[in-house]
Amino acid sequence: MMKNLLTRLSVKKFHQLLLSGELSCRELVEYYLRRIEAYDHAGPCLNALILLNPRALEEADAIDAAVRKTGRLTGKLCGVPVILKDNVNTSDLETTAGSESLRGFTPDDDAFITKKLRAAGAIILAKANLHEFAIWGETISSILGQTLNPYDLTRTPGGSSGGTGAAIAADMGMVGIGTDTINSVRSPSSACSLVGIRPTIGMVSRSGIVPYSLTQDTAGPLCRTVADAAAVLEVISGYDKEDEETAWCADKKVDDYSAAVPETTLAGKKIGVLESFFGKKAEHQEVNAVVAKAISVLKALGAQIVPIKEEINSGWLTADVSVHLYDLKDHLNQYLQKLPARAPVHSLEEIIKSGKFHAGIKENLEQAMLHSVGTPDYNERLVLRSQVQTKLMQVFADHDVEAIVYPHQQQLVCEVGGAQKERNGVLCSVTGFPSVVVPAGYSQPSQTAPAGIPIGMEIIGRPWSEKLLLAIAETYEEKAAVKELPPFTPVLE
């Protein structure tokens, strides 16, 4: 019975069991630690987690004692074990951004969102692997190596937050945190059959997070359900004086996402389908078919589906509009220069000189050294970025739609050793608009993917429309019931 209670437990159900005395926080943490030992360190060896919190059980005991004493939860995420991407500062655990150049370094203070998680009663269970410095989307790092996809061990879990994605999909933690510069929360959500949220820029603080591009960076949840993702977003959102961009959310109500009553219909809602984000070649057809079926679910729920034929090229957005490589040197240096003297490196130049990084990011690091903020090329990209923001708002207005959908990735997540191709998440990254990725379905089963390879549908909205997007996502989730479990990480006996 206990085994059934613990499997893929939601935040809401866990809190019900915790308050009733049917389940303790210690029992839950022990469950996840057993699964980590069985599936991350052995068995399929997913290689998702860089390090575990050695005090997790101690923290669980303290929470159990507090709940027994008061009969109340200690916060909105009371006792919830969190998988935290290892570019988010933790004052009691190393923060490496996946790089050997930062091995052994523990920050003096938590990131703002780490403080928010702890204040809400969460337990940081583990720090997850990422594509080193969040630079690419395959989740390979010098500090841990390649993370594998629990649905197909020959494929990557997406990235850069693929360690978080693989761990949550494999039920090695209850909720996860990733960061997203171009695709990096939504890519592993799509590839691992999860719900991922990229919030409006300014909703979630980046202070204490190793940056890639503060123009585009944000943090967001990766969870198994929309409700869990909404609960995490509530906790990590809010104004932080150390991140001036969050001043934009100071007057926004960000504490009621999971309180919304799920809708039973989408009647009256107009949802656009961005046709230019669907591929036209043979390698795209399986993704197209799965996402088309997901869109048919929205239609069955009463939504009016509106074709959007404006040509938007995601490849052009990545290559010619995104400022990620232009920001990297300056913004990473800002973070590194503030580290205490005991930190092993204090600049991108020192990282390169150390040689302590994965060979796969060498070219990007060297390219970043050639760019800087404020140059004519950089400013031209910012002008294009502004034009794309206005163009996207015009698309919403012209078609009178409340949200727009498309496949997050036009073809299946890549195999180990390959590179992700034709991801569409860049549209929200360069504009700062919010989006939610939900599981759309799976490819046809194969020898390496017995349950099929997950495929995600992205739902985007105007700035600060998270509550609407979550309502659409949760209504879709209940009807679609996309629930194939990872075949290589079954329930433990």
Catalytic residue IDs = 85, 160, 184
DSSP E strand stretches across 187-335: 195-198, 218-223, 270-274, 304-308
Residue with tokens 């993917």: 449
Residue with tokens 């979630």: 204
Q: Would you give the end-to-end CA distance of the chain in angstroms?
A: 11
Q: Dihedral, CA atoms, 112, 137, 99, 246, nearest 10 degrees?
A: -20
Alpha-carbon span 467 to 200, nearest angstrom: 11
Could you tell me if 90 and 114 are in contact, meaning their C-beta atoms sit under 8 angstroms apart? yes
Q: Regarding beta strands 403-407 and 270-274, do their DSSP bridges make them parallel or antiparallel, or are they unpaired? A: parallel
Q: Which of 165, 47, 39, 128 is CA-nearest to residue 489?
A: 39
Residue with tokens 């949550």: 168
Q: Is the dihedral of CA 218, 221, 222, 225 positive or negative?
A: negative
Alpha-carbon span 386 to 421, nearest angstrom: 25
Alpha-carbon span 255 to 208, nearest angstrom: 22
User: What is the full DSSP assignment across 430-485?
Assistant: HH---EEEEEEEE----SS-TT--EEEEEEE-STT-HHHHHHHHHHHHHHH---PP
DSSP state of 152: B
CA within 13 Å, CB half, 469: 29
Alpha-carbon span 218 to 56, nearest angstrom: 27
Q: Which strand (E) or helix (H) includes residue 3?
A: helix 2-6
Residue ranges of alpha helices (H) inside 121-172 are: 162-169
Displacement of CA 195 from its chain's centroid (Å): 8
| Degrees, nearest 5: CA angle 388-180-442 | 95
Distances (CA, A) of 76 to 258, 302, 325, 342: 10, 33, 37, 36
Distances (CA, A) of 189 to 133, 169, 237: 19, 9, 20
Could you tell me if 264 and 298 are in contact, meaning their C-beta atoms sit under 8 angstroms apart? no
Residue with tokens 């990620």: 324
